[in-house]
Amino acid sequence: MCGTRVLRSLVAVLAAVVILFGYPGGAAAQAGSAQSADQNMQERMRQMQQQIDELNRQLQQMKADQAKTQQQVQATQQQATATAQQFSATQKKVDEADKSLNTFMKGFFGTLDMSIDATTKGMQNMEAFGISGCTGPGGTLPCTFNTTPKMTPGWGPSPYGRVGWMGMMSSNGSNVGYRGTHRIDGSTVDFIYQVSTAINLAAAPGLQNTWTKQSNTVQGAIGLGDTYIGFKERQFGTLKFGTMYMPYKTSTDRMNPFSGGLGDYAVIMGNTGGDNRIEFGTRADHVVVYNSPTWQGASFDAAYQFGQNPDPYNNIVSLGGTDCYGGNLPGSGNLPLNCDDGGYNYGYSFDFKYELGGLYLTAAYELHGGVNRSSDGVGSNNPIYGALLGPPNPVTGCATPAPGTNSLTVLDWNDYNMLCAEFPGAAAAGTPEYNPGLDTVNEWAWKGGIQYTFDFGLSVSYIYESLKRNVPFFLEYQNERQRNGDWVALDYVFNGGRDRVAVGWAHAGASEGDPGGQHNFNPYGVGENTANLYSFGFWHKLDKQLSVYLQAADTVNNINAHYDIGAGGHGIKTDCHDATHPTFIDYSSAGPTTWGGCHPIGVSTGVDFKF
């Protein structure tokens, strides 16, 4: 642009000079020099015209160059715009990728929890109740005790093995899972999914096959945790299919501040027979769960568990399953590799929940169809059971039915006699199971719970529970699955949410009967099988995800009760079993002896990280 102006100015000056010199003045009158001057003038004008032409040419050239430059600038600008658009598109893709990655990463969840525990079974000085016979009607009191221990002669009458204080390390509820949603095109329905697995932090994962149990479930494998697929729609609720806990358990999870700890309320709540297993609160296989939406604070959940068990007495593992339903591990307690210690067929469960402000109310129900507990008779120490047995066969040493009783009806002599023929020694050490046709019945439970959370950080919870087993009246004497239970918990959050302290108390009411199997049953303590659990916990958060804790639990068992500490999620359970073990598996029930009246106490401190 600057060059063009200079050229234009130059042209103007030259034109002025031409005009100036071309103007006819008085000097033209000189005739002699006129022609010469005219020629000179013409020559100069010609030269100037050439210069003008040259300048015009240069001007045109510069204009052309300028136009070309402008085109280049425009092209560059277009290119820059295209590049910017491309960059924007790329950035958008990067942002979307970041968002997708964040969404993907957010799908992972889990807990890493490890604790150091010190626990005792609290039964070092106990003695076995050796019974020589009960002379009352139907094998009832009075009975006489002898000095012979219940277990094989040669073993002492006191618990065998290390049953005092012991230090141990435990992985507790450590788990990792992934969950996500996928919106179905053109609908408001989400496809949902979750896979989960337990993580064994303190030991290598694998099967848990010991002298007390032969589990087929791989610890630490994917699927050992709530795992499902399903559909979710905000107006219609959620439908899930997989392996999950059922509503009876989940309805009161929030009232259990000691979840996964030694003092977990599942030591007693939902735990019908004491020990480690939680009958109403075990994860269910092959289950469909429906979670309703919330209407004005009210909602409900329902679940159905497919039985898929071809055995009429549910004495085998369900098709497609790994272990028996109900947490019944085949062979537990040196029993036959069957599902006769709590295996069942189908199950269903539902709950109702209502929440308004700090108030939470719930009621829940669960039923297990056809629960096989015929193994309660094997090795039973109950004198009523003992009255069903006649004198041993003098040749084989195997038991025989007592004459004049309903032994042939109540007990499963067919299977016992076959066992006796195959393993005469083992059969002699054991006794017949109950008739599975009589001892395979429904069990159900219901409970009601209330929780109130105050604004200042205190939560108060109470649960009442009732457990039932529908056995014939003549088997009621061994029915330990029917009782009531209570749970009270106070949970207080303070220090701006950094600290929490909780105390809890659970009470197991007396059961209808006691099978006397596998424990030092005292016939003079019938009905004295209540228990109390006292729990304490303190949690201190280091940040959002990391916390440390200290927990303690104390289970006080009455004479014939054998509840533990740690059932329900804590890694190592401290129960009332001693370390008695046979040198070979003979299905005689000569496994670890359970000591009723034990007094487990434990302290646990650990670290918990959530992500």
Partner 1 sequence: MARGKPGSSLPAAALGVAAWLAAPTALAQAPASTPPRSEPRPEVVVTATRESDALLESKVVQALERDPYLFAGHINVSAENGIVRVEGIVEDPFDMVQVLRLARRIAGKRRVINEIEIVSLNQELN
Site residues (CB under 8 A) for partner 1?
A: 106, 109-111, 170-175, 177, 179, 196, 198-200, 202-203, 208, 217, 219-220, 224-226, 245, 249-250, 253-257, 259-260, 266, 278, 281-283, 294, 297, 299, 327, 355-358, 453, 455, 457, 459, 491, 493, 496-498, 500, 539, 541, 543-545, 567-569, 571-572, 610-611
Min. distance of Cβ 275 from partner 1 in angstroms?
13
What are the DSSP calls for 134-182, one per residue? E-SGGG-S-EEEES--SSSBTB-SSPPS--S-EEEEE-TT-EEEEEEEE
Q: For partner 1, which is the closer residue by CB, 244 or 559?
A: 244
For partner 1, the closer of residues 256 and 580 by Cβ is 256
Identify which of residues 295 and 473 has a Cβ nearer to partner 1 in the complex: 295
Amino acid identity for residue 456 in this structure: F
**CB of 109: closest distance to partner 1 in angstroms?**
5
Tokens of 66: 């300028």
In three-state form (DSSP H/G/I as H, E/B as E, the rest C), the secondary structure along 212-270 is CCECCCCECCECCCCEEEEEEECCCEEEEEEEECCHHHHCCHHHCCCCCCCCCHHHCCC
Say how far apart CA 574 and CA 599 lie, in whole Å: 10
Q: Hey, what long-range contacts does 68-75 have (CB within 8 A, 24 or more apart)? A: none
Contact 405/387 with Cβ under 8 angstroms?
yes
Pairing mode, strands 440-453 and 458-469: antiparallel
Q: For residue 182, what are its two tokens?
A: 């996928």
Do residues 416 and 588 touch, judged by C-beta distance below 8 A?
no
| CB closer to partner 1 out of 62 and 363 | 363
Residue closer to partner 1, measured from CB, 32 or 496: 496
Cβ 551 to partner 1 shortest distance, Å: 13
In the complex, the smallest distance separating the C-beta of residue 445 from partner 1, rounded to whole angstroms, is: 17
375-413 in b/e form (b: 16+ CB < 10 A) is bbbbbbbbbbbbbbbeeeeeeeebbbbbeebebeebbbb
Minimum gap (Å) between residue 500 Cβ and partner 1:
6
CB of 245 to partner 1, least distance (A): 5
Q: 451 or 530, CB closer to partner 1?
A: 451
Take residue 456 and report the two structure tokens written for it. Answer: 């200042």
Nearest distance, CB of residue 587 and partner 1, angstroms: 23
Min dist. Cβ of residue 175 to partner 1 (A): 6
Q: Which two tokens stand for residue 387?
A: 């009255």
Measured CA distances, 472 to 435, 497, 533, 592, 602 (Å)? 12, 52, 31, 29, 39
CB of 224 to partner 1, least distance (A): 6
Cα angle at 142 between 138 and 143, to 5 degrees?
95
Question: Is residue 489 helix, strand or coil?
Answer: strand
Task: For residue 421, give Cα distances in angstroms to 397, 416, 418, 424, 435.
Answer: 11, 9, 5, 6, 19
Does residue 50 sit in helix, strand or coil?
helix
Give the whole-angstrom CA distance, residue 97 versus residue 99.
5
- Of 44 and 179, nearer to partner 1 (C-beta) is 179
Specify the residue, 327 or 591, whose C-beta has the smaller distance to partner 1.
327
Q: How far is the CB of 119 from partner 1 (least distance, A)?
A: 14
Report in angstroms how near the CB of residue 96 gets to partner 1 at its nearest.
19
Closest CB to partner 1 among residues 327, 597: 327
**Residue 174 or 478 having the CB closest to partner 1:** 174
Give whichever of 18 and 169 is closer to partner 1, judged by the CB atom.
169
Nearest to 59 by CA among 5, 11, 9, 4: 4
DSSP state of 28: G
Between 327 and 515, name the residue whose CB sits nearer to partner 1: 327
CB of 387 to partner 1, least distance (A): 37
* Spatial CA neighbour of 431 closest among 516, 351, 357, 330: 516
Distance CA 126, CA 122 (A): 9
